[in-house]
Amino acid sequence: MVRKARMRGVLAVLALILTLLGMQVPGPGGASTARAADNPAQVVQEVRIDDRTLDVAVRSPEIDGLTHTRWVRLLLPAGWDRNAQRTWPTLWLLHGGGGNHKDWTANTHVEELAAGRDVIVVMPETSGCSGYSDWWNYGRGGAPAWEAYLLGELRPLLERTYRAGTERAAVAGLSMGGQGALKFAAAHPGMFKAAASYSGGVNMLYKSPDGGFSGPDAVKAGAVSCLADWKRVWGEPGYPFDTDDPADVRQRSVWERHSPLHQAASLAGTPLYVSYGNGTDSGTGWQWGGPPPSPARCTDPAAHGGEAVERAIFGMNGQLRARLAELRIPATVCASEGTHTWPYWERELVASFPMLMGALGIEPHPDPAVIQPHPPAASSRI
């Protein structure tokens, strides 16, 4: 008895010391409480935008910059409560290059689309040139480590603090975010129940056949917008971009590791939606509030449009489409006329939404009156 009392006293003193040091002591929650203590990401601010929209500022050492802070916007379902006994499935929407956590609500009707759905929509901010990757940093690693932050820190933080579910999540993104969505699904099989890419940069090793815009050009342009050294992201791609020597591959393996095309085999078993345009702006043939986008839009046109970025995207996604077919991995693919702009991305978000929700087991709200359209702002991202 004396020994047990002495042990309880030692544990109490240890707990007090850990508390004074700002550490958490594992309690009855066991592993989940320990995981919370191990996760350095912290919520530093919350801003309630409206009854359904919550902006959360998160600080993490994995984030580059002076403040090490980025925002995440949450669209919350009806009945959500941070103290609820239940959890909610999540849909992650990833922004493109130069974007942020406000893009999807500013440029699409995602609020109305998700209204009445039993889902938390997660829209995280990274940087305009994040690549949704842990940067190579000349082989040193370290910050920014966007994948480690988003999936290793932000995701468990949302599960712990905002009642996000641990089992059911889907991910979608545009441009750089499309690359991120498929990259995450390939790198973490089973983490996401479905993945969608809209004009995604699915092979940044793409070489334009006519001397036009190639994959590394996008990485270099993005780094300029971030005031960053582009070689920090994945290094140099090597031949045929930086050298005429086919044996000089430099950091090509790093580029391939972050390429949905080169990691396509790991997408097997994940429901996929892939859409892209050919660089021709002929109009979407669809507007919010009308019937669902018609399958007739997916015409498999030739890449003859004048918009350079989407023409490169067209080439990349054609390669991915062929690779998925070679691997016999099913995917819903829509190749259409279109440019690298929001009206096309919103159309494809709406077209893919039933697949994304179906993968989460979520049915639409039975009352269509919950959807109240409003005009989105016009914008575009690279």
Domain harbouring 142, CATH code: 3.40.50.1820
Residue 364 has a pLDDT of: 66
Residue 7 has a pLDDT of: 39
Q: 253: domain range?
A: 41-370
**Is residue 131 scored above 80 in pLDDT?**
yes
**Is residue 52 scored above 90 in pLDDT?**
yes
In a domain? residue 209: yes
- Please state which of the ranges 123-132, 278-287, 357-366 shows the lowest mean pLDDT: 357-366
For residues 30 and 48, what is the distance between their CA atoms, to the nearest angstrom? Answer: 32
Residue 39 has a pLDDT of: 75
Residue 155 has a pLDDT of: 98
In a domain? residue 228: yes
For residues 47 and 206, what is the distance between their CA atoms, to the nearest angstrom? Answer: 41
> pTM of the full predicted structure?
0.87
pLDDT tier, 89 (very low <50, low <70, confident <90, very high otherwise):
very high
Average pLDDT value for residue range 153-176: 97
What is the torsional sign of CA 172, 174, 177, 181?
Answer: positive
Domain total for the chain? 1
**Is residue 35 scored above 50 in pLDDT?**
no
**Is residue 33 scored above 50 in pLDDT?**
no
**Is residue 2 scored above 70 in pLDDT?**
no
Residue 28 has a pLDDT of: 30
For residues 170 and 172, what is the distance between their CA atoms, to the nearest angstrom? Answer: 7
Residue 14 has a pLDDT of: 34
Average pLDDT value for residue range 261-282: 97
Average pLDDT value for residue range 44-62: 97
Average pLDDT value for residue range 8-27: 33
Residue 211 has a pLDDT of: 86
**Is residue 178 scored above 50 in pLDDT?**
yes
Residue 5 has a pLDDT of: 42
In a domain? residue 336: yes
In a domain? residue 343: yes
Average pLDDT value for residue range 51-63: 97
Residue 365 has a pLDDT of: 56
Average pLDDT value for residue range 67-89: 97
**Is residue 336 scored above 70 in pLDDT?**
yes
Which has the closest alpha carbon to 293: 234, 347, 357?
Answer: 347
Average pLDDT, the chain: 88
In a domain? residue 35: no
Residue 24 has a pLDDT of: 31
Average pLDDT value for residue range 76-99: 97
**Is residue 17 scored above 50 in pLDDT?**
no
Residue 109 burial class via C-beta count within 10 angstroms: exposed 0-12, middle 13-18, buried 19 and up: buried
**Is residue 165 scored above 50 in pLDDT?**
yes
pLDDT tier, 195 (very low <50, low <70, confident <90, very high otherwise):
very high
Residue 339 has a pLDDT of: 97
C-alpha pair distances (Å), 286 with each of 114, 165, 210, 305, 368:
19, 34, 32, 20, 19
Edge-to-edge strand ranges of the sheet holding 88-94:
42-48, 53-59, 69-75, 120-124, 88-94, 164-174, 195-198, 272-277, 332-336
pLDDT tier, 10 (very low <50, low <70, confident <90, very high otherwise):
very low
In a domain? residue 341: yes
For residues 131 and 238, what is the distance between their CA atoms, to the nearest angstrom? Answer: 18
In a domain? residue 3: no
In a domain? residue 350: yes
Residue 370 has a pLDDT of: 41
Average pLDDT value for residue range 64-70: 91
**Is residue 375 scored above 60 in pLDDT?**
no
Residue 174 has a pLDDT of: 98
Average pLDDT value for residue range 173-185: 98
